[in-house]
Amino acid sequence: MNLVVLGATGSIGSQTLEIARRRGHRVVGVSAYHAGDRLWRVVDEFRPEVYAFQEGDDRPGVGRRVDGPDALRELALWPGADAVVVAVNGFDGLTPMLAAIAAGRRVAAATKESIIAGGDLLRGAVAGGLLLPVDSEHAAAFQLLLRRRPEEVRRLIITTSGGALRDWPIDRLPAARPQDALRHPNWSMGQLVTINSATLMNKGIEVLEAHVLFGMPLEAIDVWIHPTQIVHALVETCDGALYASLARPDMMLPIEQALVHPDLPQEALRPLEPEDLGDLTFRRPDPLRYPSLRLCREVGTIGGTMPAVLCAANEVAVAAFLADVLPFTEIIPVVETVLEAHEPQSAPDLAALQASDRWARAAAENALRRRTGR
C-alpha cells in the first residue's frame, strides 16, 4: 500500500509510520509543520517522493518539496497514493480530505475538527467507504454499527477518561497549570488534544463527529466517563441490548482498521484477557465541571458555520492557556463568547468555512485581550 501521511511527525503520524515499517507499506508523501530533525529522520528512512512543511529551512537533495497554501492538497492527490492519513490539527485537514475523497481515495481521518467543520461537505463519505475515522471511539463505533440498520440502533455511547483533572475538586480547577492538564492518564497525544481531553471539548467535538460520520441524531449520542478506557464505544439496540467494543488503549488499532477496511488487520494489538478488564466503571460527566459538552450540543443543533467557529476559537483559547496567560476555567467561556458573536451561515461551502475560521480566530484573540489585558 502506498501512503501519504499528513502530520507525519505527530502522534498519529508517527504511529502510522510504525505500521508502515511493520507491514511494508510504501510512504510516498509526508508533511510536517516544522522542518526539524524529526521530519528529516522520516525523509531519510522512508525516502518519500514528496514532502511539505510550513516552517523551517529546506534540505536540498532529499526529494521534491511542495509548499504554499495548496501543499497539503497536492500531497493528498499525489499520483500512486492508495490512502491518505490526515493527522493535522484543526481546520487545515479539510481541504486535502475533500480533495482525496473527490478523487476516490481512501482517507484515514484523525482530524475531528476538520470533520465537524466540513460536516455538510463530508456526509456520505463514510457510507461510501472513502472516509474512515482514526479515533478510538469512532473506529469502535464504526465496527459496532457495521451491518446494523439505522432503525435497529437506539443509542451510541462514546467513552472518555475524563482527562487529567477529572478528580480535582471543581474549586481547584482555576489554579490548574498547563503541566497539570497535560498529564493524561491513558493516552500520549499532542498538547491541543490533551487539553481538550481535560476540558472534555474533545468529547463534545466527538459527539458532533459521530453525528456527521454516522448520521445519528445528536440526542442519540451519549458520553460516559470510563477511567480505564478499555471500553471505547457502546451501541444500544432497539431490543434493549448493549453491545460494547473493548480493546487496549492503543491508536495502532484504529489506524490499521482504517487502512485495511473492509478487512480487519492481523494482530494489530495484544489481545485482552478477562483478567485485564478489572473494574469496568462508568459515570456520567458533571455538567458543571465540563460545560463544553452542553456548548458542543448547542453548536451541533445550529450547524452551518458554527462548528468551524467552535474549533477555531477553542484552538486560540487553548494556546493562551498553554502560554500561561489564560486560566484553565476560562477556556470554554472564551469559546462561548466567540460563538455568541457569530452570525451562522447555513449550508456553507469551503470558502465560507475558511472565512468563518479566520473570523473566529480574530474574534477569539479580541476576547482574550479583553479578558487578560494583553
Domain with 93 in it: what CATH number? 3.40.50.720
The yes-or-no verdict on residue 163 having pLDDT over 70 is yes
Terminal C-alpha separation, the chain: 50
Q: Do 191 and 336 sit in the same domain of this protein?
A: yes
Among candidate residues 133, 162, 195, the one where a domain is terminated:
133
Q: Between 22 and 126, name the one with better pLDDT.
A: 22
**CA 257 to CA 290: how far, in whole Å?**
31
Establish if 63 belongs to a structural domain. yes
**CA 77 to CA 104: how far, in whole Å?**
10
Establish if 257 belongs to a structural domain. no
* 298 CB-near residues (< 8 Å, 6+ apart): none
Establish if 264 belongs to a structural domain. no
Q: Do 66 and 111 sit in the same domain of this protein?
A: yes
Amino acid at 247: A
What residues make up the domain containing 336?
138-249+270-372
Q: Do 180 and 210 sit in the same domain of this protein?
A: yes
Establish if 262 belongs to a structural domain. no
Q: Do 225 and 320 sit in the same domain of this protein?
A: yes
Q: Do 285 and 341 sit in the same domain of this protein?
A: yes
Q: Do 118 and 214 sit in the same domain of this protein?
A: no
Average pLDDT for 90-107: 91
Q: Do 124 and 189 sit in the same domain of this protein?
A: no
Establish if 260 belongs to a structural domain. no
Percent of the chain, pLDDT > 90?
79
pLDDT tier for residue 269 given thresholds of 50, 70 and 90: confident
Q: Provide the number of structural domains found in the chain.
A: 2
Of 127-136, 310-319, 333-342, the range with the lowest mean pLDDT is: 127-136
Q: Do 217 and 197 sit in the same domain of this protein?
A: yes
Instruction: Return the ∠ at Cα 318 (arms to 222 and 67), rounded to 5°.
Output: 105
Entry pTM: 0.92
Among candidate residues 133, 167, 197, the one where a domain is terminated:
133
pLDDT tier for residue 188 given thresholds of 50, 70 and 90: low
Q: Do 42 and 75 sit in the same domain of this protein?
A: yes
pLDDT tier for residue 212 given thresholds of 50, 70 and 90: very high
Q: Do 294 and 189 sit in the same domain of this protein?
A: yes
Q: Specify the pLDDT at position 100.
A: 93
The yes-or-no verdict on residue 42 having pLDDT over 80 is yes
Among candidate residues 133, 168, 185, the one where a domain is terminated:
133
Q: Specify the pLDDT at position 187.
A: 66
φ, ψ of residue 10 to 5 degrees: the values are: -85, -175
Instruction: Return the ∠ at Cα 362 (arms to 328 and 194), rounded to 5°.
Output: 35
Average pLDDT for 167-186: 92
**CA 107 to CA 19: how far, in whole Å?**
16
Q: Do 36 and 71 sit in the same domain of this protein?
A: yes
Establish if 233 belongs to a structural domain. yes
Q: Do 91 and 144 sit in the same domain of this protein?
A: no
Q: Between 113 and 63, name the one with better pLDDT.
A: 113
Establish if 254 belongs to a structural domain. no
pLDDT tier for residue 374 given thresholds of 50, 70 and 90: low
Q: Tell me the CATH number at 292.
A: 1.10.1740.10
Q: pLDDT tens digits for 43-83?
A: 999 999 999 998 888 887 778 999 998 999 999 999 999 99
